[in-house]
Amino acid sequence: MNALIKKSLCTMLAAMTALPLFYVPVSSKVSAANDAVINVTAPKQVIRGFGGMTHSGWIGDLTASERETAFGNGPNQLGFSVLRIPIDENRNNWLREVETAKKAIEHGAIVFASPWNPPTDMTELVTLGTTSGGGSTYEAESLTTLTGAVAGSSFTGYTGSGYVSFQNASGSAVQWNTILIGSTGTKNIKIRYSLPSGTSNLDVYVNGTLALSNIPFEATGSGNTWKDKSIQVPMVNGTSTLKLVTTGTGGPNIDNINVTAYTQITQAKRLKYDKYEAYAQYLNEFDTFMKNNGVNLYAISVQNEPDYAHDWTWWSPEEMLRFMKENAGSINNRVIAPESFSYVKNMSDPILNDPQALANMDILGAHTYGTQYSDFPYPLFEQKGAGKELWMTEVYYPNSETNSADRWPEALGVAEHMYNAMVEGNFQTYVWWYIRRNYGPIKEDGTISKRGYSMAHYSKFVRPGDVRVDATKNPANGVYVSAYKGANNKIVIVAINKNTSSVNQRFTVQNGTASAVSSWVTDSTRNLAAGSALQMSGNGFSADLPAQSVTTFVVQP
């Protein structure tokens, strides 16, 4: 993100992701309807760690004391185990990120780096069109009118229940009848299709009027190989129709269309097409520089937020795919891509769908500004990302308002956001934006904020290499539970109670042993305070979760 501006759009969207912070129970204390069952033999993802970013060029470096607060794991320390640093476009500025990175590594953290811009001699200014958000997807085989076309499912790789095949060289059509448009203007229509060979041309009609003629669709290589074709058409507020019609050359198989807003940006910066390999070597130079100065980077990103680059360098999905296929393989470290600002899947889908690009990506990185919890799961990554890691590499939540870091229960939302990233998103890291900021985990006076303590319920106890295990996610209204298995079969349970009254919750360890349990709680008046002793009963325990609180339990085998 930018050092000077807030992402107002993303802040608005982020508000949509949060469930209401308040519940109104009947009594002052309730008992949970269900046990929270922790199944230690049902592993999920390996956790790499939790942390944040420093950017010395924009807000100055952390002080020596703040480094200890961030990466130490003693009293009044956060236990962060991930640091993100920028790759400055000016090589003369690289040294200023070294000291904090060295201290983080000294404490056992991993460090990765993201660039905002290539060196100026590698970039050019262009006018480009860009889409915003994930848009709305409409399947071709559902709620459409077919003329000389049929729904099919013999090919693989489609979404929904199938796709549509045109039967005639001319005059065959598929029409979507209920495309909802929120505002009048140019829209981007991304058409997902497959075509074994040749080129087919289609006409495009909007609300019965010809909008585009003879749009070419190039061969994808087989009916099982799907690609995207983007077009731009004007559409008006309300419900619209869109029709694709064959014009004499037959047509591709149509899987779905995705409709998003489309704008043109003048003076947009992009990497010159003949500088891709030089850029890869520039990233290698940074990696070597850091190594020579005592910092062994864990990974390097291709670009920070390529799809929200109003103040840095834009990359289209096609440009990112080309770089990943042709150039990323020459980077001498693990490669992170694409770091979309809002986990927009059209930035990463092409990489996952291309074997060569996928082979050159080690970590799928994403930011979750404005990403709704329902969009945290990524089925395509689960399908094709074997051997790859999935990282959440930047966010602040729920806002960046001045001096908001200690607001409660607003800061409890950070713990819930982390829960969703781990449980619904299966992310392996959770990385905050600025570590020190008046809305961050460390405030400008160097002390830990309420948002920081919410993060510490994960970062201090769930350590790199621990594995998330299956747990009853929502055992009671307003209660959210995640669990992790660590060294020596230790179990860490993080439980969030968003209710305005306490909840008595039973926790049961399944397929494992539990002999003792300790707890720490943060609520409106306490910050990671040690809880009272809890009695084991059978292979579990019961605990009161205070109103609007987050509690971490450490269960010894």
Listed by start position, the domains of the chain span 8-18+48-116+301-463, 128-264, 471-556
Task: Over range 528-532, report the average pLDDT.
Answer: 95
**Helices (H), strands (E): how many in the chain?**
11, 31
Joined tokens for residue 217? 């669709």
Residues 437, 439, 440, 445: what is their CA dihedral angle, to the nearest 10 degrees?
50
Q: 128-264 domain in CATH 3.30.70.1140?
A: no
Q: How far apart are CA 368 and CA 398, in angstroms?
A: 11
Q: How confident is the model at residue 15 (pLDDT cuts 50, 70, 90)?
A: very low
Q: How far apart are CA 305 and CA 366, in angstroms?
A: 8
Closest of 313, 413, 264 to residue 87, by C-alpha: 313
CATH fold of 8-18+48-116+301-463 reads TIM Barrel (3.20.20)
Joined tokens for residue 55? 């950017």
Task: Over range 319-338, report the average pLDDT.
Answer: 99
Least confident of 18-27, 137-146, 174-183, 485-494: 18-27
Residue 6 has what pLDDT?
A: 41
Would the pLDDT of 14 be above 90? no
Strands (E), 358-447: 363-367, 389-395, 429-434
Question: Cβ(82)–Cβ(429) under 8 Å?
Answer: yes
Q: How far apart are CA 381 and CA 384, in angstroms?
A: 5
Which helix (DSSP H) or strand (DSSP E) does residue 359 occupy? helix 355-359
Considering 305, 339, 410, 416, which one is annotated as catalytic?
305
Q: Note if 305 is an active site residue.
A: yes
Q: How far apart are CA 183 and CA 261, in angstroms?
A: 9
Token pair 């983007």 is found at 230
Would the pLDDT of 402 be above 80? yes
Q: How far apart are CA 367 and CA 442, in angstroms?
A: 20
Would the pLDDT of 284 be above 50? yes
Q: What is the pLDDT of residues 404-430, one digit of tens each?
A: 999 999 999 999 999 999 999 999 999
Task: Over range 276-280, report the average pLDDT.
Answer: 99
Residue 265 has what pLDDT?
A: 84
Does 21 or 432 have the greater pLDDT score?
A: 432
Would the pLDDT of 540 be above 70? yes
Q: What is the pLDDT of residues 495-526, one digit of tens each?
A: 999 999 999 999 999 999 999 999 999 999 99
Joined tokens for residue 446? 């160097």
Strand partners, 520: 530, 552
- Tell me the CA distances in angstroms from 547 to 93, 394, 498, one per residue in order: 47, 29, 7
Considering 89, 97, 99, 394, which one is annotated as catalytic?
394
In the three-class reduction of DSSP (H, G, I as helix; E, B as strand; rest coil), residue 224 is classed as coil
Residue 29 has what pLDDT?
A: 67
pTM equals: 0.82
Q: How far apart are CA 84 and CA 47, in angstroms?
A: 16
Residue 129 has what pLDDT?
A: 80
- Tell me the CA distances in angstroms from 2 to 101, 400, 512, one per residue in order: 21, 12, 46
Class of 471-556 in CATH:
mainly beta
Q: Note if 394 is an active site residue.
A: yes
Token pair 């082979």 is found at 359
